[in-house]
Amino acid sequence: MRVLITGHKGQLGRALHARWPSAVGVDLPEVDITEAGAIDAIVAEHHPDLIMHCAAMTDVDGAARDPQAAYRANGLGTQNVALAAARAGAALAYVSTNEVFDGTKGAPYVEFDTPNPLNPYAASKRAGEWFAANLTRQFYILRTSWLTGRGGRNFVHRIQQLADERGQLSVVTDEVASPTFVEDLADAIVQVVSTGRYGIYHLTNAGYCSRYDYARQILELSGRGHVPVQPITLADYPRPSTPPKFSPLANFAAAALGITLRPWQAALAEFLKG
């Protein structure tokens, strides 16, 4: 299978490239997906069977400050990639987010629940989902959450850094989702796209927790269990974006194919061992 990976320099893109070493990888500044001609030329040159679309604006607060930039990258950029895939007869795998849901269900979201994004980042990613599903006939929409990988900017690294710098932390208790580790997610994506069963999939490590409980586990497993953590609420922590309060993803569709991810606690423990 000939694979083209957008955003191949990111933490997920790198992990997928390691699994598909013959894949063609594209990223900024060489290829900008918001320029239709650039992605069209690459697809026409390499004739991929699958476009693995990881490129995105993932700065959630930055998207709230500049929604147009988020829509350009995550919405119109995905439109360009989807149209290029359709013209080439390639399948499209689009990485999306738990934040497309509003967090009011009170239970983990399955693939058949109706999205209702609360913030510009989430709305832009939902726009990307629409383009993937409506402009191509062969698509995978792969939703995940709280992604952590080596060499990336993520919650696990940030909590350790702040604990060392400040000696104490304040972390929210009322934002709940499913931590996901890049290596596990990449393995699951490879398995899903190898089935040829197109559709929507929720791929996260099993289980869910609050940011507060997640931080406590990070500190405990990294030898920082003595660092005090004050529980606060989202209302105590003003920020440009508004995350959904309870947005764990339930793996229903991939599990029906025998594809599951291990519990987040086990993945975190392995990640912290280096």
Q: pLDDT tens for residues 212-254?
A: 999 999 999 999 999 999 999 999 988 999 999 999 999 999 9
- CATH number for 73: 3.40.50.720
> Residue 143 belongs to what domain range?
3-151+180-205+248-261
pLDDT of 274 higher than 80? no
Marked catalytic residue, from 71, 94, 109, 121: 121
Q: How many domains does the chain have?
A: 1
**217 domain residue, yes or no:** no
Residue with tokens 């989202």: 234
Average pLDDT of span 153-163: 92
User: Do the domain assignments include residue 166?
Assistant: no
Is residue 208 among the annotated active site residues? no
Examine residue 236 and state whether it is found in any structural domain, yes or no.
no
Q: What is the pLDDT of residue 46?
A: 95
pLDDT in the model for residue 153: 77
3-state SS class at 73:
helix
61 within a domain of the structure (yes/no): yes
Residues 241 and 57: their CA atoms lie apart, in Å, by 14
Assign 89 a pLDDT band (cuts: 50, 70, 90). Answer: very high
> Sorting pLDDT into bands at 50, 70 and 90, what band is 150?
confident
Q: Residue 46 domain-assigned?
A: yes
CA–CA gap between residue 49 and residue 158 (Å, rounded): 37
- Residue 164 counted as domain residue: no
Q: Which residues contact 106 (CB under 8 A, 6 or more apart)?
A: 246
Residue 229 lies in a domain: no
Residue 128 lies in a domain: yes
Give the model's confidence band at 154: pLDDT under 50 very low, under 70 low, under 90 confident, else very high: confident
151 pLDDT higher than 80 = no
